[in-house]
Amino acid sequence: MTAPTQPATGPNSGPRGGYSDGRIVVDNLTKVFGTQRAVDSLSFTVEPGSVTGFLGPNGAGKTTTLRMLLGLISPTSGKATINGVKYSALPRPLQSVGAALEASSFHPAHTGLQHLRIYCAAAGLPARRANEVLDLVGLTDAAKKKTKGYSMGMRQRLGLAATLLGDPQVLILDEPANGLDPEGIRWLRGFFRHLASEGRTVLVSSHQLAEVQEVADRAVILNRGKLVRAGTLAELSAGTTTAIVRGPNLGPLQQALVAAGMSGTTEPDGSLRVRAEQLHEIGHLAYTCQVELHELSLERFDLEKLFFALTEGAHQGQNFDHGPQPGMPPVQSGPAQGR
């Protein structure tokens, strides 16, 4: 399986529908299965032309939300729209929205090419478009192989190829990195970058937080069906940069930092973690206090740490990592933040 280094999504390098719209609006969406509220009063907006990471632990309600957005699950209340209308009301759905929800939605006896041609026919697209998108995702060599012989990574690529059939301006991807090997993940990163550069609206749920942080403009974080945080990565990272200070005797520096109005914490190993965007002020204070430093570095915003802080307790397994999770902004919740 070969991976193209520079994914391109269409012969014209841009969605046929143009960039005039592509807004996704989830408005007070709720889904109750029996007694369980899988999604609870969820509201957020995905701006046109943005790449938005849709994050949350397993069972947070991400897939249910995406399926409600795509008309596959009926919401108990609330609504979700794309381009201002429900998915089922889109006149040419595959030309407006490309969605990849699971890597097993293929008939095992169909080849990859047959699978795509079936949906080309349904959408009124020329059959050659199937070959084009297979080429885009590096599956040309496997085009005539039955999907039952596909690896998980190949299935993911086939799912992504299907999303591009209609060259849509909106892409909705559910865990597209699942099953991809490191090369595949690197390819996916390039794929996301290219989609973003074309100005497409991309909503991607993923556990590959580092990948999401690298390509996403915004993030929507769910936990137990509720929105816990939404915003641009710049908004989410505000005030989270931390300076790490190590040295044999940091007492005088600590006092000087407090006097300078800076806040932070002392770690069990004696190092300091100070809320700061830059290091020069701390360096200067250390110099004036005559404090010997062994390390003075910045710990930048880390989406993964924010994610774990906001979804703490969602995973029921035994915790093998008792390391500190410092520098986290306080957890806030409520649908009002989603907009």
24 close to 80: Cβ distance less than 8 angstroms:
yes
Decide if residue 93 touches other proteins (CB under 8 A).
Answer: yes
* Rg, the chain, Cα only: 23
76 close to 36: Cβ distance less than 8 angstroms:
no
SS3 percent helix, strand, coil of the chain, rounded to 5, is 35, 25, 45
Q: Which stretch binds other proteins (CB under 8 A): 114-122, 195-203, 224-232, 273-281?
A: 114-122
Decide if residue 123 touches other proteins (CB under 8 A).
Answer: yes
Decide if residue 189 touches other proteins (CB under 8 A).
Answer: no
Decide if residue 26 touches other proteins (CB under 8 A).
Answer: no
What minimum distance in Å lies between the beta carbon of 263 and other proteins? 46
Q: Which stretch binds other proteins (CB under 8 A): 44-52, 109-117, 195-203, 295-303?
A: 109-117
What SS3 class is residue 130? helix
Decide if residue 58 touches other proteins (CB under 8 A).
Answer: no
- Choosing from 12, 36, 77, 105, the residue that interacts with other proteins (CB under 8 A) is 105
Decide if residue 32 touches other proteins (CB under 8 A).
Answer: no
Decide if residue 73 touches other proteins (CB under 8 A).
Answer: yes
What dihedral do alpha carbons 167, 168, 171, 177 form, nearest 10°? -10
Query: Total residues at the site for other proteins (CB under 8 A)?
Result: 34
Distance CA 37, CA 145 (A): 41
Q: Which stretch binds other proteins (CB under 8 A): 20-28, 63-71, 205-213, 259-267?
A: 63-71
Decide if residue 62 touches other proteins (CB under 8 A).
Answer: no
Among residues 333, 319, 304, which one has the least CA distance to residue 55?
304
**143-173 burial, b for 16+ CB within 10 Å, e for fewer?**
beebbeebeebbbbbbbbbbbbbbbbbbbbb
What dihedral do alpha carbons 154, 155, 159, 164 form, nearest 10°? 20
233 close to 258: Cβ distance less than 8 angstroms:
no
Decide if residue 118 touches other proteins (CB under 8 A).
Answer: yes
Decide if residue 117 touches other proteins (CB under 8 A).
Answer: yes
- Choosing from 28, 30, 81, 114, the residue that interacts with other proteins (CB under 8 A) is 114
Among residues 180, 176, 161, which one has the least CA distance to residue 8?
161
Nearer to other proteins, 124 or 251 (CB): 124
Decide if residue 162 touches other proteins (CB under 8 A).
Answer: yes
Q: Contacts with other proteins in 252-311 (CB under 8 A)?
A: none
Residues contributing to the site for other proteins (CB under 8 A): 63-64, 67, 70-74, 87-88, 90, 93-94, 97, 99, 101-102, 104-111, 114, 117-119, 121-124, 162
